[in-house]
Amino acid sequence: MTEGKQPIIEIRNVSKRFGKVTAVDNISLDIRAGEFFVLLGPSGCGKTTLLRMIAGFEMPTEGQIIIDGQDMSLVPPNKRPVNMVFQSYAVFPHMNVTDNVGYGLRISGISKAETRDHVAEALELVKLGGFEDRMPDQMSGGQRQRVALARSLVMRPKVLLLDEPLSALDAKLRAQMQFELADLQDKVGITFVTVTHDQDEALSMASRVAVINKGEVAQLAPPSELYEYPANCFVADFVGSVNIFEGRLTLDEPDKAAVDCPGLGKIYLNHGVTGPHGANVWIALRPEKIYLHVPGEGKAARAAAQDAPDGHNLARGTIKGMSYLGDVTLYDIQLEGGHIIRVSRPNLSRHDQEDFTWDDKVSMHWRADSPVVLLS
C-alpha cells in the first residue's frame, strides 16, 4: 500500500518545449515513496521527456521538480538520488556480468569486498545467481535486461527510472517480467517510475498510473480505477478495449440516470451522473461486460434471460465479425441502427465458441452499473 505516503517526487507545473513543440504541458503530480508509478501514453505524448526531466537529462522550460525534498533545478543527473534503466540494455559488451553490475560501485570508490557482496545480492534479486562470469553476448535479451536492472539496483537509488524496460522482449517473456518487476519492486521497496505505451504492462505492474495525452495528465489513478472509472473518452479508449456511443442525458437523478444513444437505444444506469440535463455525453461500455444471449433453451440461455433487467439495456444485432483468441472470442455485432458493438465472451468450456457464427441474429444485455457516462 502506498496510500498516505510522503511524495518522493513532486512535479510542479512542469512544461517542456522544444522549439514550437510542447512536449510536456504544465504537469503537476506527486509520486509517493515506495510506489510503482507508471507514465502511460501513446507515442509522442511526452512521457519520455517527463522521465528524462526527472533524471536530469532535460531541464524543464517552466516549473519545478523536487526529489526527496530538494529542488533539482541546479542538480546534475549524476548527483540526483535516481538511477535510470534504458530501453536498450545499457550493459558494457566487453565486461562479464560481475564487472558490469559492479561498475558503478567501483568508480564510486567502494572496496572490492563490499562491491562483491553488493553485486552478489543484486544478482540474487534479479535471479542471475550463477551467471557471474558470463559475457553479455552469451545471454538472452531478457537476461541482459536483468543485468541492466542489477546494475542500477546495486547503487541503491531512492528512485529507479525505467524507460520502456520490457519493450525489447518477446510477448511471453514480457508477461513474465511484468510479474517479476512488480515482485522485485515490492522486495527492494525502491520507488519505481516506468514509462510505457503498453497498457497491459501499466495495469499489471503499477500501483498508480498517470495516463498522458498531448503533454497533459488525462487521469491519474490505480489501474482498476482507470479501467472501471475512466475519466474521459481518451482514457476509456486507450486503457483496454471499449465501445463508445454518443448520446444525450435525459434523466439525471441522484441514484439513476438515462442516456439516449441514437446508435444503441436508451441506456439506463443505476447511479447518478454529474452533468446537466440534456447534456451531450458519451457512453463507454467494455466488451466483456456485455452478455450475449445463447439461442435455445439451455441452462446458459435461461440464466442470461433472467439476468436481463426487465427489458432495460437490451440490444439486438447480427454477428458480422468473429475473432477466436483462445481464452475469449470477440464478436463484432451490427446493431439494428447500423452501428457496430464489440462483445468479448469467455470460452469457459471447450465448445463455447461454437455457440455463434457469422450472420446469427443475437440479443445482448448488460448490467445497469456497467456503462460509464463521460462528459469529454
What are phi and psi for residue 351, nearest 5 degrees? Answer: -110, 5
Q: Which of 118, 88, 113, 91 is nearest to 102 (CA)?
A: 118
- Residue 316, CA distances (Å) to 263, 290, 313 in order: 12, 12, 10
Q: Which CB sits closer to ligand ATP, 45 or 119?
A: 45
Q: Which of 239, 181, 242 is nearest to 211 (CA)?
A: 239
Q: Which CB sits closer to ligand ATP, 197 or 365?
A: 197
Kindly state the smallest distance separating residue 173's Cβ from ligand ATP, in Å.
20
Kindly state the smallest distance separating residue 22's Cβ from ligand ATP, in Å.
8
Q: Which CB sits closer to ligand ATP, 20 or 187?
A: 20
Distance CA 113, CA 70 (A): 33
Residues that bind ligand ATP (CB under 6 A): 18, 21, 23, 41, 43-49, 197
Q: Which residue has the cell 460509464?
A: 372
Kindly state the smallest distance separating residue 172's Cβ from ligand ATP, in Å.
22
Q: Which CB sits closer to ligand ATP, 44 or 321?
A: 44
Other residues' Cβ atoms within 10 Å of the Cβ of residue 273: 22
Running DSSP on this structure, what letter comes out for residue 23? E
Nearest residue to ligand ATP, by Cβ distance, number only: 48
Other residues' Cβ atoms within 10 Å of the Cβ of residue 276: 11
- Residue 353 CA to its chain's centroid (Å): 29
Kindly state the smallest distance separating residue 108's Cβ from ligand ATP, in Å.
29
Q: Which CB sits closer to ligand ATP, 43 or 274?
A: 43
Kindly state the smallest distance separating residue 278's Cβ from ligand ATP, in Å.
37
Kindly state the smallest distance separating residue 132's Cβ from ligand ATP, in Å.
34
Pairing of strands 36-40, 208-213: parallel
